[in-house]
Amino acid sequence: MRSAISRLALLSALLSAPAAADPVPFNCLILPGDEAASILLTNVLASEASCIVTCKFSTTKYNNNPGISCAKPVPSGKEVEMCRLTSGGDRMLKLIEGRADCNKLDRARN
């Protein structure tokens, strides 16, 4: 009996766990002039999704690594500009860190 209850509790916990985010293609692109970046993301999921992308850049100034995270809903199959980042006047050199993922929107909950 105790084993059946333990299995039931485990199954219940697994079913109630939030859905895992899916990694998606993104591009943290330094714009001409090297003082701003455009953050692009493509939702490759089969439906609209809530997406988040984070990018961090190095600059010509020591220990100035501007970073940004932006999130919003993205239609299925679309590439969108999620946001833009300025360097604060220092020239951006390269992307040093980035990641992006999306979670399918559950419209039944809204």
In a domain, 7, yes or no: no
Identify the pLDDT of residue 38.
97
The CA distances from residue 8 to 81, 88, 89, in Å, are 44, 55, 58
E strands, 24-91, are 26-30, 36-42, 49-59, 67-74, 79-86
Which tokens hold the place of 47? Answer: 């439906």
Provide the mean pLDDT of the chain. Answer: 84
In a domain, 27, yes or no: yes
Domain enclosing residue 85, as ranges: 20-109
Identify the pLDDT of residue 108.
52
CA distance 98 to 55: 4
The pTM score is 0.75
In a domain, 85, yes or no: yes
Tens of pLDDT, residue by residue over 53-72, are 999 999 999 989 999 999 99
Identify the pLDDT of residue 16.
40
Q: What spatial distance separates the first Cα and last Cα of the chain, rounded to whole Å?
A: 39
Other CB atoms closer than 10 Å to residue 86's CB: what's the count? 13
Total domains in the chain come to 1
CATH number (domain holding residue 38): 2.60.40
